[in-house]
Structure 1
Amino acid sequence: MTDDESPGLGLDLPAQPLEKSASASPYRVLARKYRPQSFAELIGQEAMVRTLGNAIASGRIAHAFLLTGVRGVGKTSTARLVAKALNCIGPDGNGGPTIDPCGVCEPCRAIAEGRHIDVTEMDAASHTGVDDVREIIEAVRYSAVSARFKIYIIDEVHMLSKNAFNALLKTLEEPPAHVKFLFATTEVNKVPVTVLSRCQRFDLRRIPAEALVAHFHRIAEIEQVEIEPDALTLVARAAEGSARDGLSLLDQAIAHGAGTVTADAVRDMLGLADRGRIRRLLTVLLSGDAAASLAELDEAQALGIEPTALLRGLMEQVHAASRAKAGGGADALASAEEREGNAELAGTLGWSQLHRLWQLLLKGLSDVTAAPDPNEAAAMVLLRIIHAAELPDPAALIARLQGGGETATAPARPRAPAPAAPAMTAAPAPTPAPAPAAPAEPEAPASFAVLVDAIEARGKALRAVQLRDQVGLIRYAPPELVLKPLQPLGPNFTRELADDIRAALDARWTVTLGDGEAEPSLHAQEKMAEERARDAILAEPAVAAVFAAYPGATLESVSAKDANHA
């Protein structure tokens, strides 16, 4: 089908004569062949088109426009359309500025073909200097030769040098009435604020995948190409909101499939793992089967699937399950089977598991990208996910740690009267003998830290400092205490400590030193609790918002109460 027979979609080059053979016409890629030639063909930017249409209709046309957005959403095409809209004279030559340029008058055709003398398009990536801008400044003084407005389109304007921007400022703020500036950029943050304040800014949105699918379907019909709906969906998703990227992929898919495009062929072309394989791998991971997970990875590697594509697929599954669990709308492009699987996964996994999976996959993706061997890194990521699944839930872990003191002291209580048992059998006459032991049991401190506080309360501050900083606890089973020295202690340390305990508790204790595995010192534990409390405070959304608003802010201290709660 020739270009002249392409309904509803414009061209950026003049139509070829019908008598000219197809072989004599150079092939144009779809991204150029179907570049929008009117605002009606510009997909996904309805809000911007409505604003421009109202401005043109009311005559409130700004002297400078800044178009920003990701690649392939139509920035340069929009700039050319604005140039046509402002200079269109209609088929009869008597028309004025319009949001619907005719496309047949001489200004419209000349602008579309890039040969209009009053419409200058400059690539700032290759014309970055002040001399290039000086040429524009000199030229704006002269009126347009044949058009209503003299228009300057500067693509990738953020590439201009600082001096070039400064040279342009005065002219940009107060240009002659016959001059309009149209800037396009993908990195608006690099454009000076002084330039932004002199322009009307339009942020072009990423094109929705549904709109891309419909657009690609129309093009496939015009090109007489058979393409499966799932293949169109894959191309639209891979385009990531860019019409140009999607058309380039569609062009490649058509060539790959020799006129017939299937979903499997697109997956092979893009190196994507199919959805069924992703769901199967996620199921194996959640079951904790390491061997089966590695086998799935090896099979994907043999099929040529990139590890990064595999991990991205897993992340998409986790994200879809999280949206389903939160009650968010399902992906309009997802099949009924995928939606059912996402709902089932959302019902099976809790929020903590979903968040943990996401963080592990996100970290794993960066590891795979940076690793010398991506396949080895992907295997380690899968194993990390499997073993992380065995970790307890954070809330359960906190509850277990908080209950650790009670479980540790629970077995100690029956051990306290153990030495009294032989005494009771040796002298059974005094039946009230067990009575003193029963009330004495609650007097034993609940933990080593409480024991140290009791010693300090009896005026033994130096001994308390020594116990907090210089020893680690091996076993605390009143009236038995086993400590590990972390620093050199005196030769009479155990005897003196036993005397201090007897003075504080009015009870005899056995104190020994050992070399076994010990807890950190009480001082170190307090520091760790303070760090946990600090991290918990910094993780609070309100606190994070304060730090984002005040970058120089710092958290100076954490109270003992916060540290204990941590």
Structure 2
Amino acid sequence: MEPEILVDHLRFIATKEQAKISDAAISILVRASEGSVRDAMSLMDQAISNHSAETTAEEVREMIGLADRSRVLDLFSLIMEGNASSALNELSSQYADGADPIIIIKELAEITHWISVVKISPNTADDPTVTNDERDRGLKFSKSLSMRSLTRMWQMLLKILDEISFAPNAMIAAEMAIIRLTHVSELPSPDEIIKKIEKESLSIEQRNNEKKKSEKGSSYQPPIISLKNENLAVRAEKVIEAPLQKFKVFEDVLSLIRFNRDMKLLVETENYLRLVKYQPGRIEFQLTKEASSDLPSRLSKKLKSWTGEYWGITIVNEGGGPTIAEQRNKSTQDLHVQVMKNPMVKLVLENFPGSIINEVHLQKPEIKEAITDELINNEEEWDPFEDND
């Protein structure tokens, strides 16, 4: 059942039963029931029976074992600010008040998902199961936080939830999770790191040249580029060369696959991939109808495994050229057409009816030149169909 309808239904039941329960408590019950009318009514009956006066949101949270949503939002805010010390204190405070560390981590994941959805569609913030304070804070977070940081937070929380079951103590695992999350929130994105390196690399080489001129005879020590808020250093060599520059054309990628003897991937790449655009580290192509859906991911993983560098794979629906196999077949057909125009070949086929050309092998330049010279020198002396009797 939709949350709005379920909230109204619980209010109606509470009024009929002459039970006092706050709107915030009803919202928590609806959220905990996940749309199940039976579960929601069972939880409300349990909450009402345990309290003679008005049932509050705090009492419902304690009964269900949920963390205080507003305090989890406080913790979320401290994490995204990179304030590890205050975030750990807030976690300890909630734990002291009876909150389950695993529940807190799950609540953080739910909040991250909710804010991500609100960022894309702000109307989703108008959820009856969300309090006004939570709604206002969620909208504020959705405007101030980037989608990149939210998706990174979501991925890390999922991994943490998967690892927390193996930890010796749930609180210890939660504390380590908070430390990791706060430090990652400060890290620049990969794109920002690349831009920083590219911006600095040109000026570095200029400074190195000036230093070498002023300090002749001294040993050369490559400088270090330090990135803010990162325990990261990139040593700039005298000549900066991209590690994938040796794969200048797509044929070099095919040679790499062939060298590693992955024949299945080679056959699929040559037959089912229509190249649109290529540059070292990035391949854009269109798949044929016969291609398997996992071909792009397998190709990307293999190239990263063989080169040690990430390869960007982009799939488009149009604009692809002929496959390698189609190009090879066309070249073979064109070569056969050229061969059929050769006077000597024509003469052979005329004298041997039913003969066909199966394969055409191109001679090496030096052999071709030697044979041509020999034929020219003996043109009048040799006739392959001359009667020698």
TM-score bracket relative to the smaller structure: 0.5 to 0.7
What corresponds to 2:49 in structure 1? Answer: 255
Tell me what 1:216 maps to: 10
- Counterpart of 2:167 in structure 1 is 371
Measure the CA separation in 1 of the matches of 2:291 and 2:56.
50
Q: Distance in 1 between matches of 2:120 and 2:174?
A: 29
1:108 counterpart residue number: none
Name the structure 2 match of 1:320: 114
Match of 1:246 in 2: 40
Structure 1 residue 563 displacement after superposition: 5.9
CA 1:413–1:314: 2 relative to 1, 3 Å: same
Give the secondary-structure state (helix, strand or coil) at the position aligned to 1:257.
coil
Give 1:269's aligned amino acid.
M
Q: How high is the sequence identity, in percent, across the aligned residues? A: 30
Instruction: Check 1:307–1:233 CA distance in 2 against 1; reply closer, same or farther (3 A cut).
Output: same
Note the alpha carbon deviations across 1:19-69, whole angstroms, 9 max, x for none.
xxxxxxxxxxxxxxxxxxxxxxxxxxxxxxxxxxxxxxxxxxxxxxxxxxx
What's 1:22 paired with?
A: none
In the alignment, which of 141, 164, 173 is matched to residue 345 of structure 1?
141
Q: Does 1:293 align with 2:87?
A: yes
Partner of 2:29: 235
Matches within 5 A, 1:43-192: none
TM-score normalised by the chain length of structure 1: 0.39
> Could you say if the C-alpha distance between residues 302 and 410 of structure 1 is closer, same or farther in structure 2, counting changes exceeding 3 Å?
same
1:360 matched to 2:156: yes
In structure 2, how many angstroms separate the alpha carbons of the residues matched to 1:388 and 1:547?
A: 38
Structure 1: state its 5+ residue gaps. 1-206, 423-444, 454-531
Is the 2:122–2:139 Cα contact (8 Å) retained in structure 1? no
Name the counterpart of 2:209. 413
Please tell me the residue identity of whatever aligns with 1:555.
Answer: L
Q: Which one has the largest radius of gyration? A: 1
1:244-298 Cα shifts (integer Å, max 9, x gaps): 2222212221222246422111011112222321222122222322221111111
Residue 339 of structure 1: how far off its partner (Å): 2.1
1:386 Cα offset (Å): 0.9
Instruction: List per-residue Cα deviations over 1:511-534 (Å, max 9, x = no partner).
Output: xxxxxxxxxxxxxxxxxxxxx95x
* Residue deviations 1:83-115 (CA, integer Å, cap 9, x gap): xxxxxxxxxxxxxxxxxxxxxxxxxxxxxxxxx
Q: CA deviation at 1:354?
A: 1.6
C-alpha deviations, 1:386-407, integer Å up to 9, x for none?
Answer: 1112211221012234446435
Flag the 1:241–1:448 CA change in 2: closer, same or farther, 3 A. Answer: closer
Name structure 2 gaps, 5 residues minimum.
219-236, 246-279, 313-389
Report if the CA contact (8 A) 1:307-1:368 is conserved: no
Is 2:267 aligned against 1:447? no
Partner of 1:335: 131
Q: Is the CA contact (8 Å cut-off) linking 2:303 and 2:311 kept in structure 1?
A: no
Helix, strand or coil for the counterpart of 2:50? Answer: helix
Q: Kindly tell me: are residues 548 and 216 of structure 1, through their superposed partners in 2, closer, same or farther at Cα, counting changes over 3 Å?
A: farther
Map of 1:398 onto structure 2: 194
**Residue identity opposite 2:79 in structure 1:** L
Q: Which residue of 2 aligns with 1:555?
A: 299
TM-score by length of 2: 0.55
Report how far residue 446 of structure 1 moved: 5.6
Distance change >3 Å, CA 564–CA 409, structure 1 → 2: farther
Contact 1:360 1:385 in 2 (8 A): yes
